[in-house]
Amino acid sequence: MLFHLAWATLLRHRGRTVLTVLGVAVSAAMLLDMVMLSSGMRASFRNMLVASGFELRIAPKGTLPFDTDATIPNATSIAHRLQADSDVTTVSPVLGGQLHVTVGQRTINATALGGIGRVQGDYDITDGRVPSAPDEVVASAEFLRASGLAIGDTIRAAAGYDPELRTTTGSRALRIVGRAHFVYLPAEQRAIALPLETLQRMQGARSTDRVSLFMVKTRAGANADTVLHRLQRTLPNVSMISTASAMQQVDQRLSYFRQLALILGAVSLAVGFLLVTTLVTVSVNERLGEIVIMRAIGVARERIVLQIVLEGIAIMLAGAIVGLGLGLLTARYLNSILASFPGLPAAIDFFLFEPHDAWTALGLLTAVGILAGVYPSWRGASLPIALTLREEAVG
C-alpha cells in the first residue's frame, strides 16, 4: 500500500519526476566518479607496486626511486648486507640511465634499466627471453617500432657523449633477445633492459659499483615494516621505502585529486539533496488536502512520513541506477584525459572501478534520499487536521 501510494504520487507528474531523476543521475554519476577518483589511483598504484612481489625499495638517501639521477655507492656490499637478513629472500639491484642507439643515420634515445635478469621485477617478457649474456638486451615495443628493429637484431648503443673529443662514450654492440612490457614506465616510452654489469661498464667510472635502486622481497609472513626498520638501522645512508610509505608519498603528491574528488563529491550530494528536497516539498504542498484526509480517516502519522520518505528514496535510487552507467562512461572518458599525463606508467588508472565504490555511492545517495524526504514529510504529517481541511476546502 505504502509503495503503491508513493509510486502513484511520482507518476502523477511524470515530466517533473523524470527530470528530477535525470538531475539525480548526473549528480550520482559525478559522485561515483569522485569516489572512484579518490580511491582508484591509490588502488592502481598499489597494485602496480605489489604486482612483482617486491615489498621494499631502497633509494639514495633523501630521494624516491628514480626521482633524481642520484645513485647508491658500494652496491655490492649493500646487496650482501641485505641478503644476510633472514627475512629477505630476493634483492634486485637496478641502475637507470639513457642509451643513445644508432640506427642507420639516426640516433634514438632510450631509457635503460640495468638489472639481474633472474630476479628483476621491472619488466615482463612478451616475446623472446630475458637477457642473460653481457651483450643481450630486451626492448619495449615502442623502441622496436621507432627503430624498425626486431628480436635477433644487433644494435650499437652508447651511454653518453664526450663533446670535447666529439665521440660517444661507453659504446657497445648489443643483441636484442626479447620484447618486454616495462611495468613502471609509460606505454609510449622507448626502453631497453640489459644486464646490470653491462650498463655499469658502459656508464664508466661514475657508475662503478653503483645502482639507482634496490628492490627487496621479504619472506612470506614477515612484516615488511619490521624488516624495513631493522635494515634501516644497519644501512642509515640510504632511504628505504615500503609499499605503505610509497603510498603515503603518492597520497602527498596526488592530494590535489583526492581533495578535488572530496569537494566535487560533496557538491554532487548537495545538488542531489536539494533537487529531491525541492521536488518532495512541492509535491507535499500540492496534496496537503490528500494528506490531512488520510490523517482524518485514521492513517498514522508515521505511515504518512514513511510514504513521503519512500518517494525521496525512490527518486534517489532510480537516479543512482541511471547514474551508475553514466558514471562509468564519464569515468572512462576522464581517465583517458588523465592517462595522457607525461611519464605516467601505463598501469596507473585514476578512475578504477571497484564494487566497493558503487556501494559507497549508492549508500550515500540513499542516505541523502532519506534526509531529503524527512523535512517535507514531517511538515506534511504535522499539519493540524481540521484547520488544513477547512483551508483546502475553502481555498
Partner 1 sequence: MLLPLLLLAAAQQIDSIPPRVAPRTVAVDERLAGDVGLRVGDRMVLSSTPGGPGDTVIVGALVQRAADPSEVARAEYRVRMHLDELQSLIGYGDRVDRFAVQTRGGAHTDSAIRAINHAAFGFQAYRSREIAVETSQTFLVVSRFHRAIGVITIVASAIFLLCIMLLKVDERRRDVAALRMIGISARSIVRSVIVEAASIAVAGSGVGVAIGWAASLGINWFYRGVYRTPLAFAIVTPGIVALAVALSIVLGLVAGFLAAQRLVRTPPLELLSGRREQRGAANAAAI
Exactly one of 124, 197, 209, 286 binds partner 1 (CB under 8 A); that residue is: 286
Task: Give phi and psi for 278, each to the nearest 5.
Answer: -60, -50
**Cβ closest to partner 1, residue 115 vs residue 186:** 186
Are 156 and 316 a contacting pair, CB within 8 Å? Answer: no
CB atoms within 10 A of CB 101: 23
Q: Work out how close the CB of 135 gets to partner 1 at its nearest, in angstroms, rounded to a whole number.
A: 24
Please name the amino acid found at residue 356: H
Site residues for partner 1, 187-246, by CB under 8 A, read 236-237
**Residue tagged 615495443 (cell numbers):** 141
From 82-90, 192-200, 207-215, 279-287, give the range in contact with partner 1 by CB under 8 A: 279-287
What's at 260, amino acid-wise? Answer: L
Nearer Cβ to partner 1 (10/194): 10
Taking the complex as a whole, how short is the minimal distance between the CB of residue 245 and partner 1, in angstroms?
Answer: 14
Tell me if 251 contacts partner 1 by CB under 8 A. no
Nearer to partner 1, 15 or 104 (CB): 15
> What single letter denotes the amino acid at residue 377?
S
Give the residue from 30, 11, 17 showing the smallest Cα distance to 275: 17
Give the footprint of partner 1 on residues 63-92 (CB under 8 A).
63, 68-70, 73
- DSSP alpha helix (H) spans, the chain: 2-12, 14-51, 75-83, 141-147, 196-203, 224-234, 243-253, 255-286, 288-296, 301-338, 355-381, 385-394
Q: How far apart are CA 8 and CA 6, in angstroms?
A: 5
Tell me how many residues contact partner 1 (CB under 8 A): 57
209 neighbors 183 (Cβ within 8 angstroms): no
CB 123, min distance to partner 1, A:
24
**CB of residue 392 vs partner 1: minimum separation in angstroms?**
11
The SS3 of residue 124 is: strand
Out of 84, 104, 118, 166, which residue is the one contacting partner 1 (CB under 8 A)? Answer: 166
Select the residue interacting with partner 1 from 129, 253, 356, 390 (CB under 8 A): 253
| Phi, psi dihedrals of residue 213, rounded to the nearest 5° | -165, 145
Distance CA 248, CA 232 (A): 18
Name the DSSP letter for residue 326: H
Specify the residue, 12 or 145, whose C-beta has the smaller distance to partner 1: 12
- Residue 93 vs 323, nearer CB to partner 1: 323
Of the ranges 126-134, 191-199, 277-285, 381-389, which one interacts with partner 1 (CB under 8 A)?
Answer: 277-285
- Give the count of beta carbons closer than 10 Å to the beta carbon of residue 29: 24
Among 16, 106, 129, 219, binds partner 1 (CB under 8 A): 16
Residue for grid cell 634514438: 108
State in angstroms the smallest separation of the CB of 22 from partner 1: 5
127/352 Cα distance (integer angstroms): 28
Binding to partner 1 by CB under 8 A, coded x per residue (else -) over 20-39, reads: x-xx--xx-xx---------
Task: Report the SS3 class of residue 206.
Answer: helix
Considering only residues 84, 86, 233, 252, which one is a binding residue for partner 1 as defined by CB under 8 A? 252
Q: Whole-number minimum distance, CB 60 to partner 1, in Å?
A: 7
Instruction: Give the interface segment with partner 1, choosing from 6-14, 76-84, 111-119, 145-153 (CB under 8 A).
Output: 6-14
Q: How far apart are CA 268 and CA 38, in angstroms?
A: 14
In 10 A of CB 68, how many CB atoms? 12
* Footprint of partner 1 on 324-363 (CB under 8 A): 330, 333-334, 337-338, 340-342
Q: Which residues would be at the binding site for partner 1 (CB under 8 A)?
A: 7-16, 19-20, 22-23, 26-27, 29-30, 60-63, 68-70, 73, 160-163, 166, 168, 236-237, 252-256, 264, 268, 271, 274-275, 278-279, 282, 285-286, 330, 333-334, 337-338, 340-342
